[in-house]
Amino acid sequence: MARRYDPDRRRRIIDAAIRVVGERGIAGLSHRSVAAEADVPLGSTTYHFKTLDELMVAALRQANEGFAAAIRESGALAEPGVDVAAELARLMGEWIAGDRARVELEYELYLAALRRPALRPVAAEWTEGVAEVLTRHTDPVTARGLVALMDGICLQALLTGGAYDEGYARELLGRLLRP
């Protein structure tokens, strides 16, 4: 039997992994559950991703693009004299309000790095990438502090189920940015 050419299969498998984690959590992620979700043979998932960690790395890398892309693509952050605290607070608010389930999924994959060392470099890529953008406006140590603070603010809003408070975020970020 001839093998069917399917150039999008890898991407569909990653998308399916993200959906599985979103629906069942990290504990529900397996090659079998992803194959069923992607509607591909089990062998396809193991062909593209030899281990579950490889699949999780790909899913985390793809999921992490949400907020990091918003930071990178923010025209306001590229302008000199921008109120960085206000812009970051605005971007966080848009991100959380946009698709809360997706944000929760991104954090679930991000925090999975606590137990899965293979994910740590991808989690670090995200934090370093966002910090690098912020070093246009501040020193590297403060940029990393801003990333940590944004993580904390977002996690608090997600874990408490509370509403995101843009004014609170702007104030705290501003305190870090003051000379």
Of 38-42, 140-144, 161-165, which range is least confident?
Answer: 161-165
Would you call 8 helix, strand, or coil by DSSP? coil
Same domain, 57 and 101: no
Specify whether the CB–CB gap between 17 and 11 falls below 8 A.
no
Residues 38 and 82 in one domain: no
Residue 1 lies in a domain: no
Residues 52 and 86 in one domain: no
Indicate if 124 and 51 belong to the same structural domain: no
Domain count, the chain: 2
What is the radius of gyration, based on Cα positions, of the chain? Answer: 18
> Within this chain, do residues 69 and 114 fall inside the same structural domain, yes or no?
yes
User: What pLDDT, on the 0 to 100 scale, is given for residue 1?
Assistant: 43
Q: What are phi and psi of 176, to 5 degrees?
A: -70, -30
Two tokens, residue 61: 């890398």
The pLDDT value given to residue 3: 54
Read off the tokens for 148: 């940590």
Residue 131, token pair as written in the block? 């910090």
Give pLDDT tens digits for 7-30.
Answer: 789 999 999 999 998 889 888 999
pLDDT digits (tens, 9 = 90+) for 56-92: 999 888 877 777 778 888 888 888 788 999 999 999 9
Residues 25 and 53 in one domain: yes
Tell whether 51 and 70 lie within a shared domain: no
Percent of the chain beyond pLDDT 70? 97
**Nearest CA among 2, 11, 18 for reference residue 44:** 11
Q: Are residues 49 and 77 in the same domain?
A: no
143: its two tokens: 């940029």
Residue 17 structural domain: 9-61
Name the pTM for this structure. 0.80
